Amino acid sequence: MDAIRIPKVQNVLCSKAGKTTQGTLHLTAHHLIFCYDDSPEPEMWASSVPYPLVNLVTRLPQTLSGQCPITFRCRTFETFSLSFDKESDAADVFDSVKELTVAPSVTQLYAFFYVPNPPLTSSGGWGLYSVREEFGRMGVGTRSKAWRFTDINKDYSFSPTYPSRMVVPTRISDATLQYAVKYRSKGRIPALSYLHWANYGSITRSSQPMVGLTNARSIQDEKLVEAIFLSHQAPDSRAAPSGVFGATSTNLIVDARPTTNAMANTAKGAGTENMDHYKDCKKAYLGIDHIHAMRESLGRVVEALRESEVLAASVAGDLPGTTSVALPVDRQALRRSGWLRHLTGIMEGSVLIVRNVHVNSSHVLIHCSDGWDRTSQLSAVSQLCLDPYYRTVRGFQVLVEKDWLSFGHKFLDRCGHLSSEKFFLTPLEGSGSGGGAEAAQAFLASVQNRFASNHHIKETSPVFHQFLEVVRNIQRQFPERFEFNELFLRQLHYHLYSCQFGSFLFNSEKERRTCVPSPYERTVSVWDYMNSEPRASEYINPSYKPELDDPMSRVPKADQGVLFPNPKDIRFWHELYGRGDEEMNGRFVTPQTQNVEFLAPVENAEEDPAILRPTTPNSQPMTPALVSSISSAEASSSSSMYDLGTPKRGSSPLPHRNTSPSLRPPPSPSRQRQTPPRPTGTDLFANTGVGMKSVWGKLSSGAGAAFSVVQDAYGGVAKDFRGLSVGPASPGGGELLDKGGELRGRDELAAWGGDAPAESRFEPERVAQAVRPSTFAGGTSNPWSTTKTSPFVPSVLADNPWSTARSTEPARSATLGSSLGDVFGTSRASEASGLPVDPTVAQPAIVASPSASRATEAPAKTSPPGPSAPLDPTPALSQAASPLPKPSASPPGDDIDPLGVGLR
């Protein structure tokens, strides 16, 4: 072949994984092969390195030892360097690899020339997925008559990126679809992707609507979505839909994008649904970033791995037979990449969909911008958790064929199979004539210019790689629920970029079927390769237990085959990156915080920040639901969507419980300033993910209404108790200063005195001691008072009853005050202790404040048990003007309480 300028080079030093060996390099039409001179291994990396696996090739200047190195970075996260004795050999190898890697068309890739030898034992990989068989297995046409097959796209003129045969609601005719297709980007209308086996819940997928700046709408699209959300109520269904106990109808439109991206697309003529026009559903924004952020995030992971390899190589040098010291990866750099955060967002959105379909027996419509990247991720991961069939080897292959290949994921563009000359970096011509320093400076400038001009390559992104890594994390959390093992996923990732098979070479089903020559005839399916022996047996998981997926099982912890993975338990796929688990994830994995937007549910256009509305000076005030959404978003922006870190100040370390605001006592003023706002909706599904509490607070409308009834009942009982006035009358008249109070416990009621007469136990002073002031009471009974004082709430957590420096006045220790208003009024006397005062126990002497006036230090006798004079309700700030009461000292005797705890 003319592209191969030099087929063989001897005495080449290969440095890989910290080891440097000498051998011979061979260049073939589709592979780069390195044979070791003194090694039993005949070839490097099992057989060869296909050229499409090469991601970045850098030709470095000549070293001081006279070597001419070339570094190779592969898409499988491997890095190796080849050092040549002659600069001409390095130049020929560099130019040959560049011409062989940068393919002019798909038909020039290795898959169209690969002939398996020996022949594969399995065949029929191209016919593995059949639309009628797969959707018939789900129950389309048999269990449910609400869906039908349509061939409206048989010639791909209806939607070029959609499959030729689709499943749509029976109530919608093809004529209606012809109008609805104009309202969706790229003509990707809502179409069925999954029908749940346990109920009539469904997962449909589409692209964004063409709303634009004019807020355009389509009646046909609205009717199509409405028919999807009413498919479980089809009148001609064979099995009448029955309600599921505890489930509520919460149909959901999932927009995988952040609201800012949706708003930006509105300016370009697209946008998001106006919820005023879509009935019986709500919308949720997942805040998953676009493909460019994913590409940059993975690039930072690769850079962190490369830096450790460069440091290890610099320690060992380029001498043959040497081994470098294993240097750890900078885990902080890995976390700063944000890769785990993106994976967490995908898993969290998938759990939301799984719960809405399986638990709520409802429908979900998923879309992003064009509906072939984030939509495929969410749809496939959700089905993997919902249906045990997709966790088998054949079922997983069908899932990839259906939701990725058939629905038009752009594998050719996202994987960058054709590569580009921009990924081949070389020093400038003639840079070596000016000296080594000038050559290095010119090379660095060339590298910077190459990367600066590389921004036009915008279509590559590790979308399918993310899907495989999320599946690997679910497989790690549920090791007994998958028929295939980790090696199966790793080999699938390898052949995603190897271009050895024709499965992942095209952007759509149309391109795959109209390509000449036909890939169905000229290439081999990747499933035939993976289903052939001996590889098929290597991919089986020995710990797989299919009996756990039995939907009729009633054993403890039975889940009917539906998995709910933990979005906070996300780790790097260390086997894929060629590192150890502890090296990449650490011994104790601390999940990353996710600083992404999660907004849900959106019920109308007023609550949707992505809908552009004309603003007027006299605009209407925001609805309470929107205020709640904004406050939740502000709280999540300062903290984390997932709250994966340490608890913040003012927050309880206990797990979140779904208590209503009226049932939760208000915090103290100081704590109230530190606590971020929390959503007020009732959360029945808090374990979905910490970031989804606001979602399920509104989605669980039926359970929320039932909870409101209980809440109102509790409020009525509490109101009745607050109406009971057990405190004494105010000094000025017969009206009580403060109504309401909670009776003290049995131990505290002992303060009344067990030996006292029955009639004396109900004196006003004793009743005041037996009643704990309600923490719900305010500081004043006049809400319009201009001189409000902050209420004081006695707390046994804030006061130390065993403290020796406790300030307790003897007159005040006998009684808590003549009325409950003294406790919540301006007096600061009760701040000393939150415990009940025992009148039979003598109190220790008070330690006078330095700022207070000097009082007489003559000892006073201990007051006998019983009621004493009421306290002077003077504010604490005026204590300097008015002297404190005289402190009392307990006479020596048997009744001395040296600790002040009521024990003797």
pLDDT in tens, 585-616: 987 655 554 444 556 567 766 677 666 655 44
Pairing outcome for strands 54-59 and 424-425: parallel
Q: Name which of 904, 815, 811 is nearest 863 in CA terms.
A: 811
pLDDT band at 150 (very low <50, low <70, confident <90, very high): very high
- Of the candidates 51, 116, 47, 130, which has an alpha carbon nearest to the alpha carbon of residue 528? 116
Highest mean pLDDT among 381-385, 576-580, 795-799: 381-385
Inform me whether the pLDDT recorded for 156 exceeds 60: yes
For residues 789-825, one letter each, b for 16 or more C-beta atoms within 10 angstroms of the residue's C-beta and e for the rest, the string is: eebbbbeeeebeeeeeebbbbbbbbbbbbbbbbbbbb
**Cα atoms found within 13 Å of the Cα of residue 48, Cβ hemisphere only:** 15
DSSP bridge partners of 424 = 57
Instruction: Give the pLDDT of residue 588.
Output: 62
Q: Quote the tokens at residue 624.
A: 């309470």
Given pLDDT bands bounded at 50, 70 and 90, which one contains residue 316? Answer: low
| Run of H or E including 664 | none
348 phi, psi to nearest 5 deg: -65, -45
Exposed e or buried b for every residue in 449-461, given b needs 16+ CB within 10 A? ebeeeeeeeeebb
| Per-residue pLDDT reduced to its tens digit, 391-441 | 999 999 999 999 999 999 999 999 999 888 888 988 754 444 445 555 555
The radius of gyration computed from the CA coordinates of the chain, to the nearest angstrom, equals 36
The 8-class DSSP code of residue 678 comes to: -
Please check whether residue 270 is in contact with residue 185, taking contact to mean a CB–CB distance below 8 angstroms: yes
Report how far residue 643's alpha carbon sits from residue 119's, in angstroms, rounded to the nearest whole number. Answer: 53
The residues facing 32 across adjacent strands are 27, 49
Residue by residue, what is the 3-state secondary structure of 26-90?
EECCCEEEEEECCCCCCCCCCCCEEHHHEEEEEECCCCCCCCEEEEEEECCCCEEEEEECCHHHH
Tell me, yes or no, if 368 is annotated catalytic: yes
* Nearest-angstrom CA–CA distance, 194 and 204: 7
Query: In whole numbers, what is the pLDDT of the chain averaged over residues?
Result: 73
CB atoms within 10 A of CB 242: 10
- pLDDT beyond 80 at 452: no
Asked whether the beta carbons of 574 and 580 are under 8 A apart, the reply is yes
Q: Which residues contact 783 (CB under 8 A, 6 or more apart)?
A: none
| Residue % of the chain over a pLDDT of 70 | 57
> Where do runs of H (alpha helix) occur along 185-338?
219-229, 259-267, 291-316, 331-336
What sign has the CA pseudo-torsion 484, 485, 489, 492? negative
Taking CA atoms, 877 is separated from 444, 828, 831, 851, in Å, by: 70, 9, 14, 10
pLDDT tier at 310, thresholds 50, 70, 90:
confident
The average pLDDT across 548-556 equals 83
Amino acid at 660: S
Q: Which segment of 263-272, 646-655, 891-900 scores lowest on mean pLDDT?
A: 646-655
Q: How much is the pLDDT for 589?
A: 54
Position with higher pLDDT, 365 vs 750: 365
How much is the pTM?
A: 0.67
Q: 681: which DSSP letter?
A: S
CA separation for the pair 582, 570 (Å, rounded) = 14
Q: What tens digit of pLDDT does each residue of 619-660 get?
A: 444 444 444 444 444 444 333 333 333 333 333 333 343 433
Residue 843 — very low, low, confident or very high, per pLDDT cuts 50/70/90? low
- CA dihedral of residues 152, 153, 157, 159 (deg, nearest 10): 110
Q: Report pLDDT for 872.
A: 45
Q: Is the pLDDT of residue 542 over 50?
A: yes
Element (H, E) at 880: none
Structure confidence by residue, pLDDT tens digits, 42-90: 444 445 799 999 999 999 988 888 899 999 999 999 988 999 999 999 9
Q: Strand pairing partners for 202? A: 195
Measured from the Cβ of residue 182, the count of other Cβ atoms closer than 10 Å reads 12
Top mean pLDDT of 35-39, 103-107, 323-327, 762-766 is at 103-107
Is the pLDDT at 847 greater than 90, yes or no? Answer: no
Candidates 368, 385, 415, 515; catalytic one? 368
Taking the C-alpha atoms of residue 501 and residue 489, their distance in angstroms, rounded to an integer, is 16
- Both structure tokens of 505: 């070479």
**Amino acid 2: pLDDT:** 74
Pairing of β 54-59 and β 49-50: unpaired
Report how far residue 259's alpha carbon sits from residue 283's, in angstroms, rounded to the nearest whole number: 12
Sort strands 147-150 and 202-205 into parallel, antiparallel or unpaired.
unpaired
Least confident range of 18-27, 32-41, 137-146, 870-879: 870-879
Kindly list the distances between the CA atom of residue 648 and the CA atoms of 64, 681, 825, 831, in Å, as whole numbers in the listed order: 55, 21, 32, 26
Please tell me the number of Cα atoms within 13 Å of 602 on its side-chain side.
Answer: 26
- Please, are residues 138 and 386 in contact by the beta-carbon 8 Å criterion? no
- 146 CB-near residues (< 8 Å, 6+ apart): 169, 170, 171, 200, 231, 232, 234, 236, 237
